[in-house]
Chains A and B, each alone.
Chain A
């Protein structure tokens, strides 16, 4: 949990990050399992002909999901900063809602390694994945 912010619970994290509000990101916690949700909106489109979501809207969603996972399950006094991210685009993002889940692979003294999967209709068919390192120290 991020100590110095006016958040009463993990659900509030996306409310204090302006760009998460811009993307209208939602966060659901079932026990210790976190699922994030990016509702479809026309301004997320990158290819108006298909149409398909912009790689950048998916990238931001994946990265903020990793941030949320770290903030919810570890104790930090600030929002973790990404050092590097690696995104694989597996399928075109359809103009529908997108969901994501993250897994923390390792939390060291200064760096955390996080992995994220995003899907739309079927969780077994991810549309994009992300691996990232965050600075936490």
Chain B
């Protein structure tokens, strides 16, 4: 039996996550540039009622999630992962009423850590709203069990 790429089930890893569902994010696709999610604009995601710009924390959430998924794409299988740290630069406000696209790529994977860069943008990736840099720790439950024995 041939191995199906893990990214074929990536829509489930967004749709089945309560927080992603709550903010309305969905899986777009997977290309050599990275894993992409989309976040449609919504009034209840706004961080400043005067400018109607969505809250930085919402952008953080989608970036964090896309970054994590890029680690799963690099692993090409499901392993428990956890965000170690996340740095976000906010370059410009997201334009109200526009969808926000987030694309993240795991550019280096070691046995225990995935190193990721990601961008959030509303039109072109080279005109980003925000950029993320993060590291994820990869759990190996079978290894842990072996250490105990």
Contact = CB atoms under 8 A, between A and B. Distances in A.
Interface of A: 4-5, 16-22, 42-49, 53-57, 59-61, 63-64, 78-79, 81-89, 92
B20 to A, nearest CB: 8
What's the dominant secondary structure at chain A's contact region?
A: mixed
Nearest to A51: B18
Interface in B44-92: 44-50, 54-58, 60-65, 68, 80, 82-90
Given A18-B44, A19-B44, A78-B50, A59 B64 contact: yes
A19 B19 contact: no
B12 to A, nearest CB: 11
In this complex, the member of B60, B63, B80 whose beta carbon has the largest number of chain A beta carbons within 10 angstroms is: B60
Given A16-B49, A55-B86, A85 B56 contact: yes
B21 interface: yes
B63 to A, nearest CB: 8
B86 A87 contact: yes
Contact of B85 (A18, A44, A89): A89
Interface residues of B, number: 38
B47 A79 contact: yes
Contact of B18 (A17, A43, A83, A92): A43
A44 B18 contact: yes
Contacts of B22: 22, 43-44
A18 B55 CA distance: 9
B57 A56 contact: yes
B64 A19 contact: no
B118 to A, nearest CB: 12
B43 interface: yes
A78 B48 contact: yes
B31 interface: no
Nearest to B81: A47
A84 B87 contact: yes
